[in-house]
Amino acid sequence: MPLSVIELTQKLIACPSVTPKDEGAQVFLAEELTKLGFECHHLPFEDVPNLFARLGTDGPHLCYAGHTDVVPSGPSDEWTFGPFNPEIKDGVMYGRGTSDMKGSVATFIAAVSAYLENNEPPKGSISLLITGDEEGPAINGTVKVLEWMKENGHVPDAALVGEPTNPSELGQEIKIGRRGSLTGMLTVKGKQGHVAYQKLADNPLPRLAKMVDALSTHVFDEGSEFFDATNLEVTTIDVGNPATNVIPGSGSATFNVRFNDHWNGENLSQKIREILNSVSTDYEIELGDSGDSFITQPGEWTDTVLKAVEEITGNKPEYTTTGGTSDARFIYKYCPVVEFGLINATIHQINENTKTDDLEALTKIYERVLEIYF
């Protein structure tokens, strides 16, 4: 009898695996996967637990990538049932990770269980790359597991990431790429002084304001075939000056840019400096990108996932690249990758939840993906 996706999801949610703690989640997964015939490898890097499991040794090799870590719950007393006490009410399961993304991990394992029961063993390999660092710095998780996979002959031919991709119902979107992300911390220094003796001071804030305005109003591009226009958002401006009669000695601003395939971290950083230099060269800036944009061109692999989604849901999903970053930004360097999972309407919120019907439907979608792929 195939594994129950409801029971799998509940057992995973009951593990309070806030990044980077695991609290037994991956041990439980390894036990269930071993019963299905997978060879499991626990791959801790620093304080981050990771799991790689593979069924079969030949190609083609399909890899599911996901994470068992979750963001902090927030005030637990504001949850209806508690963040790590998965309860079902009126067909809805509540708990941290129901959508992002323990529910998806459970559905894939349940799908593999059903596939193995209803079909001959796959003529190829199925694997899972499960990290405990997706919601954190993403340094000792998927990146290092991928390196280990390459060194040990486990590079997949295609990958499916189970991030929650649908806004309100299953079958709306398949992510075939993501925008890149770059963060900047801008500091402008002057000289502190009394506001009544302004000539003895140097107020940095007018220069900072002009620089922030130049950055936030700049049109970087008009977008491209699969991407929206590059967008810069100022997230904070800080002075740290509680006094009304003191000219501050410095001010800072932090911003984030979500950029499309017209840019990479290097040439976007150069462009930002050019924009700032057009106002003033008297500033300091730290720039860091967490990944460039990427795209999996529509083709056989994207069509496989689309066909499965359409057959089960009756909806024809749109290929999109919107949303935040995911670990797919690391996987695309090794093989074609797409993302499809549950509903993202409540992720990272109090009372995160998912419909049990959606868990069952996603299990059928993933099982159908396996049937078409193999």
Tell me which residues are annotated as active site.
Answer: 69, 134
Q: What three-state secondary structure class fits 258?
A: strand
Q: Which two tokens stand for residue 345?
A: 């309407």
Pairing, β 39-42 against β 50-55: antiparallel
Find, among 301, 356, 289, the residue nearest to 329 by Cα.
289
Q: Which residues pair with 285 in a beta bridge?
A: 186
Q: What three-state secondary structure class fits 254?
A: strand
CB count in 10 Å sphere of residue 196: 8
Q: Per this entry, what is the length of the chain? A: 374
- Concatenated DSSP letters for 47-98? TB-EEEEEE-SSSSEEEEEEE--B-----GGGSSS-TTS-EEETTEEESTTT
Torsion of CA 102, 309, 89, 5, to 10 degrees: -50
CA-based diameter of the chain, in Å?
Answer: 84
242/281 Cα distance (integer angstroms): 28
Q: What three-state secondary structure class fits 208?
A: helix
Check residue 366 and report its DSSP letter.
H
Residues 6+ apart with CB under 8 A from 179: 227, 228, 230, 258, 259, 260, 293, 321, 322, 325
Find, among 114, 81, 109, the residue nearest to 12 by Cα.
109
